[in-house]
Amino acid sequence: MAKLYKVEMYVYDVNDEFYNMKEIIGDIEMRLDSIYIHAFHVEEREFEWEDDLAINMYMAKEEDFKAYFEDNSEKSNIYPIMGTAYDILH
């Protein structure tokens, strides 16, 4: 039997290894056989990483992550992603 999960999550790329969320989704799909991700709305923020940030704590709360998206920063990108990462990257 197949399963479908609806997930709201925050992904952070501490070392700035990926260009955008499309690359992250593609990497996940390549590593995990039979996992397909359909992301429909992505918001992205850039900020300086520090080890003592609230979102770096084990018990980080949802509000800690949401705080990064409350203002209309010039360093934000919002874009839709339709289809699987394979469809987007090929």
Whole-number percent of the chain with pLDDT over 70: 78
- Dihedral over Cα of 42, 30, 23, 52: its sign: positive
Instruction: Give me the mean pLDDT over the 69-85 stretch.
Output: 56
Higher pLDDT, 51 or 87: 51
pLDDT for residue 75:
52
Q: How confident is the model at residue 53 (pLDDT cuts 50, 70, 90)?
A: very high
User: Are 89 and 26 a contacting pair, CB within 8 Å?
Assistant: yes
**pTM > 0.75:** no
20/84: higher pLDDT: 20
